[in-house]
């Protein structure tokens, strides 16, 4: 069983583990059982015809007397590159726009309000080659570039000196924690402190090194911050014409490794959706009642019990050059 | 399959999933495959005779030229209460001392350097009853109480106003993040900022609510902070004579729920040990080379890239009464 052929954890459990035990296994791995979303037949047919994974789940909250449910549907899209990495740049971009555009159409059929793509979705993940050309040609103006015009969405990519902005939309307060940012629990916290109800994490990550971390980090952030998190990873293996090394002493190679997809949504109550495929393009639709955030906060109180004033003071001390760690010696 | 009868996730995978797929499943769930520790036959026999789970794994680091391996063995002990909760207090304590003492003897046979017990291990988890008597009688002086004299160890339970102390021992720098403290990523971080190489989390937590969070939180902390974490949970179901409620609108009951054990060790590279049993007493021995912390830090750089100065400033603002969250409106 090669790493690239392994379809998904969920598939293996479904194939081999008997129903009674599987229910317990799913509870431990995924939390509360989620209802599946019903999609129109046209959406299901389109996903089959266009050969991508289509999944949908509902995160429910309890009904309340004074607040109506705040239901929103988000779509996570993971996709392979379409053309080889040495095809002309504009053709590569156009092919990706077409492919992802089709998937967005299906998302619309599924009633999705907010869609989030994988990191750097309009290009191959060429950073690994450490070459400049032709990859810098994929860069676009965030204000009026091809892709912005294609999407007609607000910008997600911000400079690193603007703090942790949260975008108030008609579907709730959302934030975007890009790729490597998921490794820092404090990034997630800061978005949450600014009021984020859903935090997206568009990512591009490969193989053996990060895969066991993948189901942990965004999910921990949903738990710790009483919010929803959406982790989206690129899928597929991308071949580059010029071989390159990865600074790990291994031989030069023409691909960065297998991007393992496995996009998922995590909820504040510790539950999560199954992941999309490790090998196929996919659209994951999650319907969530944002009231769940408040309800879980009322039950667990992590945000209320967090000693942020103390942390602020301790961190401030910790970054001083003469910081003395609090170590008790024997 | 009742929740109390479900032995462990690991057992189900072993029973039903074929070897080729199981290897991939284990990689996704547990990370790098760990070598099992060899124990003396006397230790294995003692665990069988005394009816507890005994497991042992090795977390290896790469050999280095200038630093020798810094190998340490830790033992995690999870245990049921021994006598009914209405037995005389001293008899309950003595029975627990005897039981845990036997397990510590086995830990010693296994070459354990540091042992950590579950939270409040010398008593039933009686807080759920909200009664004072006789439970307050289980309280002891941390300096010369029965249990301290029994253990002749340094104190773990500190007042909440002493920050996040780290204890420098001959086996490495260790810290203790007690029970609910595991829900706060910043608690783990602060111990790490103070230099902790192993953070223990002695816990007592039950059933349906927290179990899907259990494998996530301590493991995320090991990843995020480039250190080892040891999560230990109480095991068994404890019956109390007087019924009590849990403030959740449900009927009064005589037990708080099933403490699900499942103690485990997580490493900075995203790998973790299998968990101990959900139903049986257990000793988990983990041998770890503390150099792995530094090696993973060198590879992933989370501690180097954490923008602690910015976080300190943002947190300081966030706790002010006139804090204005950074929200961009449409």
- Say whether residue B152 is in contact with chain A using an 8 A CB cutoff: no
Alpha helices by DSSP H, listed for A17-157, are 19-30, 41-49, 89-109, 146-151
Contact check, Cβ <8 Å, A216/B212 = no
State the Cα–Cα distance between residues A201 and A230, nearest whole angstrom. 6
* Residues of chain B contacting A325 with CB distance shorter than 8 Å: 166, 193-195
Backbone conformation region of residue A19, classed left if phi is above 0, alpha if psi is from -120 to 50, else beta: alpha
- Tell me the nearest-neighbour CA distance from B52 into chain A, angstroms: 22
State the Cα–Cα distance between residues B104 and B117, nearest whole angstrom. 10
- Say whether residue A95 is in contact with chain B using an 8 A CB cutoff: no
Chain A residue at shortest CA distance from B170? A330
Q: Which 3 state secondary structure label does DSSP give A50?
A: coil
pLDDT, tens digit, 9 for 90 and up, residues B16-75: 999 989 988 888 888 888 999 999 999 999 999 999 999 999 999 989 998 889 999 999
Whole-Å CA distances, B2 to A23, A82, B6, B272, B279: 10, 48, 7, 26, 12
Backbone angles phi, psi at B308, to 5 degrees: -65, -30
State the Cα–Cα distance between residues A149 and A101, nearest whole angstrom. 12
Could you tell me the two tokens for A216?
A: 């942990």
pLDDT at A291: 93
Alpha helices by DSSP H, listed for B40-120, are 41-49, 89-109
State the Cα–Cα distance between residues A265 and A253, nearest whole angstrom. 33
Chain A residue at shortest CA distance from B13? A17
- Say whether residue B231 is in contact with chain A using an 8 A CB cutoff: no
- Say whether residue B217 is in contact with chain A using an 8 A CB cutoff: yes
pLDDT, tens digit, 9 for 90 and up, residues B73-129: 999 999 999 999 999 999 999 999 999 999 999 999 999 988 899 888 999 988 888
- Tell me the nearest-neighbour CA distance from A300 into chain B, angstroms: 9
State the Cα–Cα distance between residues A2 and A213, nearest whole angstrom. 20
Q: Which of A194, A223, A306 is facing B213, going by the closest CB pair? A: A223
Q: Which of A24, A308, A328 is facing B167, going by the closest CB pair? A: A328
Note whether ipTM > 0.85 here: no
State the Cα–Cα distance between residues B193 and A174, nearest whole angstrom. 30
Dihedral of the alpha carbons of B238, B243, B247, B250, in degrees to the nearest 10: 100
* Residues of chain A contacting B313 with CB distance shorter than 8 Å: 312, 316
Could you tell me the two tokens for B25?
A: 């499943």
- Say whether residue A304 is in contact with chain B using an 8 A CB cutoff: no
Contact check, Cβ <8 Å, B270/A29 = no
- Say whether residue B159 is in contact with chain A using an 8 A CB cutoff: no
State the Cα–Cα distance between residues B51 and A298, nearest whole angstrom. 40
Q: Do A294 and A54 touch, CB atoms closer than 8 A?
A: no
In sequence order, the 6+-apart residues with CB closer than 8 A to the CB of A187 are: A164, A177, A181
- Say whether residue B184 is in contact with chain A using an 8 A CB cutoff: yes
Residues 259-278 of B with CB under 8 A from A: 270-271
Q: Do B199 and B186 touch, CB atoms closer than 8 A?
A: no
CA atoms within 13 A on the CB side of A292: 25
Could you tell me the two tokens for B74?
A: 């830790």
Chain B residue at shortest CA distance from A223? B213
Q: Which residue, among B160, B202, B312, B316, has the nearest Cα to A305 in the 3D structure?
A: B160
Could you tell me the two tokens for A236?
A: 């597929």
DSSP strand pairing (B228-233 vs B198-203): parallel
Could you tell me the two tokens for A118?
A: 């994988």
- Say whether residue A244 is in contact with chain B using an 8 A CB cutoff: no
- Say whether residue B16 is in contact with chain A using an 8 A CB cutoff: yes
> Which residue out of B17, B21, B163 would a mutagenesis test of the A interface target, given it has the greatest number of A Cβ atoms within 10 Å?
B21
CA B180 to chain CA mean position, Å: 11
Kindly report whether the global pTM for this prediction surpasses the value 0.90: no
State the Cα–Cα distance between residues B104 and B98, nearest whole angstrom. 10
Contact check, Cβ <8 Å, A12/B23 = no
What is the dihedral sign for C-alpha A310, A312, A317, A318? positive
CA angle A238, A242, A248 (to 5 degrees): 80
DSSP string, B262-281: --EEE-TTS-BPPPPPSSS-
> Is the pLDDT confidence value at B258 over 50?
yes
State the Cα–Cα distance between residues A185 and B214, nearest whole angstrom. 17
Contact check, Cβ <8 Å, B30/A316 = no
A145 strand-pairing partners: none
Contact check, Cβ <8 Å, B166/A16 = no
Q: Which of B1, B193, B326 is facing A24, going by the closest CB pair? A: B1
In sequence order, the 6+-apart residues with CB closer than 8 A to the CB of B329 are: A168
Contact check, Cβ <8 Å, B318/A308 = yes
Write down how long chain B is.
330
Contact check, Cβ <8 Å, B327/A194 = yes
Tokens 């000693």 correspond to: A307
Contact check, Cβ <8 Å, A30/B212 = yes
- One digit per residue, the tens of pLDDT, for chain A of length 330 reads 677 778 888 889 999 999 989 988 888 888 888 999 999 999 999 999 999 999 999 999 988 998 889 999 999 999 999 999 999 999 999 999 999 999 999 999 999 988 899 888 999 988 888 888 898 899 998 888 988 888 868 433 444 677 889 999 888 999 999 888 999 999 999 999 999 999 999 998 987 779 989 999 999 999 999 999 999 999 999 999 899 888 778 899 999 899 999 999 999 999 999 999 999 999 999 999 999 999 999 989 998 888 899 899 999 999 998 999 888 887
Backbone angles phi, psi at A302, to 5 degrees: -65, -40
Tokens 């810098």 correspond to: A136
By the 10 Å C-beta count (0-12 exposed, 13-18 middle, 19+ buried), B322 is classed as exposed
């Amino acid at each position: 069983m090669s790493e690239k052929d392994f379809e998904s954890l969920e598939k293996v459990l479904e194939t081999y583990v008997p129903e009674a035990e599987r229910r317990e296994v799913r509870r431990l791995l995924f939390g509360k059982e989620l209802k599946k979303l019903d999609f129109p037949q046209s959406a299901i047919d389109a996903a089959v015809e266009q050969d991508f994974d289509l999944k949908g789940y509902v995160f429910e909250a309890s009904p309340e007397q004074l607040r109506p449910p705040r239901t929103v549907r988000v779509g996570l899209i993971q996709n392979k590159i379409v053309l080889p990495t040495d095809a002309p740049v504009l053709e590569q971009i156009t092919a990706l726009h077409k492919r992802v555009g089709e998937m967005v159409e299906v998302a619309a059929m599924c009633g999705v309000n907010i869609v989030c793509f994988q990191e750097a979705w309009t290009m191959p993940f060429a950073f690994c080659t450490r070459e400049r050309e032709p990859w810098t040609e994929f860069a676009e103006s965030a204000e009026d570039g091809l892709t912005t015009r294609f999407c007609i969405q607000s910008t997600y990519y911000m400079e690193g000196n603007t703090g942790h902005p949260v975008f108030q939309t008609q579907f709730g307060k959302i934030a975007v924690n890009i790729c490597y940012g998921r490794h820092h629990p404090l990034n997630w916290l800061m978005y949450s402190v600014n009021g984020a109800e859903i935090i997206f994490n568009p990512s591009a990550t490969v193989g053996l090194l990060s895969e066991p971390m993948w189901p942990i980090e965004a999910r921990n952030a949903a738990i710790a911050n009483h919010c929803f998190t959406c982790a989206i990873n690129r899928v597929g293996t991308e071949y580059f014409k010029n071989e390159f090394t990865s600074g790990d002493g291994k031989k030069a190679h023409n691909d960065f490794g297998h991007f393992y997809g496995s996009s998922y949504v995590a909820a504040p109550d510790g539950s999560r959706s199954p992941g999309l495929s490790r090998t196929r393009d996919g659209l994951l639709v999650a319907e969530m009642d944002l009231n769940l955030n408040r309800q879980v906060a009322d039950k667990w109180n992590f945000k209320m019990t967090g000693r942020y004033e103390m942390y602020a003071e301790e961190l401030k001390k910790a970054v001083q050059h003469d910081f003395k760690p609090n170590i008790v010696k024997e």
